[in-house]
Amino acid sequence: MATSSYVDLKEIKETAMQDGKAMELKGKDLAAYVQQVVREEMERQRQEKERQEERQRQEIERQKEEIERQDRIRKEEYEKQKEDQERQRQHEAKMEKMRLDAAQARAQTEQGNNTNNSNNINTQRDNHNSQTWLKRKIQSFDEQKDDIGDFLKRYEAKMSTFNMPEEEWSEILIDFVHGQTLTICQNHDHHIDDSYQVLKRELLNAYGHKELLNAYGHNATTFRKKYFDNIPSLEIEPQTILFHINGFFQ
């Protein structure tokens, strides 16, 4: 760079000498003119160098900020992945515990010969807690074909029929959804009060069913009452039972 600057200044000096002579300058006047032109060129080069250094500094700073931004994104994605994996692990552990509890309940039932109707209901609920058993009884939600409102009605009816407590509905729902619906369910806080009712409103809103947010009021109590109200008597004809059983889903 020093050699290049020297050559440039030498050329500027020679050009200034020629210009000064063309203006008929001589002696001190010519020397003063040449010195002024050289000083101005040196100042211009100094300023240009400062501008280049500033541009380089800004570029380095920009690259540094971009690297830091990419690092933050990678860190956030890693943390989110860890949280998702931990939630999934906890969910699987809970479902496994439910399966073991159900197996234990079955073993106890097989050993006992004199259980009353209440014990039979509790045993049925424990047996139904198995994740595999539930997946055989409940069809998963298909975002491409199913309506979320209709699916949730069927899901709530099944949960009530199986005597599952409503505080567990929101977590159990994770096993029967995919895609956008699964993301909403995984990001939902399942430990809040009325967890399922809050999650249901989020899903209805996400799929544009705002008109159902107030109208759609089914819950565990509603379906449980309908279930027991529609239990047929043994004295009723089968044709009558088939006619009235539709009332459970109305």
The mean of the pLDDT values for the chain is 79
Is the pLDDT at 246 greater than 70, yes or no? no
Contact 91, 174 (CB under 8 A): yes
Q: What is the pLDDT of residues 196-215, one digit of tens each?
A: 999 999 999 988 875 555 54
Q: Using 50, 70 and 90 to split pLDDT, how confident is the model at 12?
A: confident
Dump pLDDT digits (tens) for 69-94.
Answer: 999 999 999 999 999 999 999 999 98
Average pLDDT over residues 34-53: 91
Token pair recorded at residue 161: 């029929």
Max CA pair span of the chain: 135
Listed as own residue / partner, the contacts of 119-125 with beta carbons closer than 8 Å and 24 or more positions apart are 121/163, 124/162, 124/163, 125/162, 125/163, 125/164
Higher pLDDT, 12 or 50: 50
**Residue 130 main-chain phi, psi, to 5 deg:** -60, 130
pLDDT of 41 reads 87
Q: How many CB atoms lie within 10 A of CB 209?
A: 18
Q: What is the Cα–Cα distance from 12 to 38, expressed in whole angstroms?
A: 7
Confidence of residue 229 (pLDDT cuts 50, 70, 90): low
Can you give the pLDDT at residue 242? 54
Domain boundaries of the chain, sorted by first residue: 2-70, 138-250
DSSP symbols for 174-222: GGG--HHHHHHHHHS-TTSTTHHHHHHHHHHHHTT-TTHHHH----HHH
Per the model's pLDDT, the better-predicted residue between 238 and 107 turns out to be 107
User: Is the pTM of the predicted complex or chain greater than 0.85?
Assistant: no
Question: Mean of the pLDDT values across residues 164-184?
Answer: 90
Residue 217 token pair: 């009021």
- Report residue 188 as tokens: 């939902």
Listing DSSP states for 40-92 in one string gives HHHHHHHHHHHHHHHHHHHHHHHHHHHHHHHHHHHHHHHHHHHHHHHHHHHHH
With vertex at residue 94, the alpha carbon angle to CA 201 and CA 89, rounded to the nearest 5 degrees, is 90
Q: Work out the average pLDDT over 148-166.
A: 90
Is the pLDDT score of 53 beyond 90? yes
